[in-house]
Amino acid sequence: MVKCVQMQNLLIHNARCVATLDHVDPACARELPNTSIYIRDHRIAFVGPSADLPADALAADQVIDARRHLVTPGLVNTHHHMYQSLTRAIPAVQNAELFGWLGGLYPIWAGLTPEMVRVSTQVAMAELMLSGCTTSSDHLYIYPNGVRLDDSIAAAHEIGMRFVATRGSMSVGQSQGGLPPDRVVEREDFILKDTQRLIEQYHDTAHGAMVNVAVAPCSPFSVSRDLMRESALLARALGARLHTHLAENDHDLAYSREKFNCTPTQYAQDLGWLGPDVWHAHCVKLDTEGISLFAATRTGVAHCPCSNMRLASGIAPVRRMLDAGVPVGLGVDGCASNDAAHMVNEARQALLLARVGRALQPPEVRTLPSGEQRTFFGCDLGPAEMTPRDALSLATRGGAQVLGRSDIGHIAVGMCADLALFELDTLGFAGGAVHDPVGALMLCSSPQADYTIINGRVVVRQGQLTTLDLGPLVERHNALALQLAGV
């Protein structure tokens, strides 16, 4: 089990605004002006006016003067492929859709080494942490040349990220009708055995756990139905969560219909892959039946707007999901399909994409309270499809819910001390934060975090990573990226 780093007490003093997001009902979330937060033993011990601070807070080991800052819960990333930071902007696949993009990159990823996974994981995590992200999932599903999920877990421990490591897998290669080349798939008995080992060695279910392990066969087009079933049984026997890709684009939908004679949601239901312990990535093509089944079973969705735009996959029906009661969080997705890992920008794109998606829909006739019927165009209804506070909720509380974490995602006494601080008196916020700090964070130019705090530890201070030296890390990462691509 990975142990928590022992930390000193920390006082965030007199923040201009604290967005607590402290209730399951977004309407009950509070934004508190001139508020202090005291952190003791990895947890939030006090939230309130500075005049009411407990006596020991005044003698805190560290004090951050937050008079110029908006404080939010640490942002939560629910879907990523961190090794893909080595293959960002590869020219041959810059203009490809999902299946063509994967076909072009599988042969490159077959050259991954343990060092490449460790270094790329830290590069991806550094980028996330600098944007205010404190918890991230990662879906590692390709294991050539001795690569193990342990490599990612060790990298996360060193850099200080709260981590949901998912043991991905591919078992159906091209010779069996799958998408990946045969040389990058694994035997299913080994996949299940290794998954069990990882859960037993690393998975921590305690409050404040720094590492969770989830079971994550890659996708319907790269694993067998038997592996999906057995993975679900294994995860539930060991108390772990389940994760995979589902209904990402039209080719994904067509594959399910051709191979399994059903929709992706029906496929998931048949194999035991619906439930409050499951989250699926993308769900761009989730239909009305699928949304209803996800809502009824409390199955979660990792919404990845930038990746969905980059690969032309479509616009996920996020508002319909939320209105139906589907848990939804945000994911930056792989660094080679986004090609960034900036959580504030991801939330902003979720907001904008939802609005333009609603604007593309046909006009709608609605009955007003007066009884009058009126025609609304999509542009009339688009702004309400996603508000700035909706977007911030997806990036925090929504992500925590999707990952099954009740100890992160909002600011309250007893919660994990995971926080992001954004400086408001900057050029990018000029004329915006003075009116509405939360609105400015989501609508103005997406900033880097000034401070990021994970488990009470300051991992970003005044915009600089404190846990690793970025210069040598990036230099080594770039050399490995050229080596992997054969340049």
Query: What domains can you pick out in the chain, each with its CATH number?
Result: 10-73+407-465 (2.30.40.10), 75-359 (3.20.20.140)
Place of tokens 């998975």: 203
pLDDT of res. 21: 86
pLDDT of res. 27: 55
pLDDT of res. 58: 86
pLDDT of res. 28: 58
pLDDT of res. 23: 55
Region of 90 please: left (phi>0), alpha (psi -120 to 50) or beta: beta
Cα dihedral: 466, 471, 473, 476 (round 10): -170
pLDDT of res. 5: 46
pLDDT of res. 443: 98
- pLDDT per residue, tens digit, the chain (487 aa), is 444 445 579 999 999 999 998 655 555 568 999 999 999 999 999 999 999 999 999 889 999 999 999 999 999 999 999 999 999 999 999 999 999 999 999 999 999 999 999 999 999 999 999 999 999 999 999 999 999 999 999 999 999 999 999 999 999 999 999 999 999 999 999 999 999 999 999 999 999 999 999 999 999 999 999 999 999 999 999 999 999 999 999 999 999 999 999 999 999 999 999 999 999 999 999 999 999 999 999 999 999 999 999 999 999 999 999 999 999 999 999 988 999 999 999 999 999 999 999 999 999 999 999 999 999 999 999 999 999 999 999 999 999 999 999 999 999 999 999 999 999 999 999 999 999 999 999 999 999 999 999 999 999 999 999 999 999 999 999 999 999 999 6
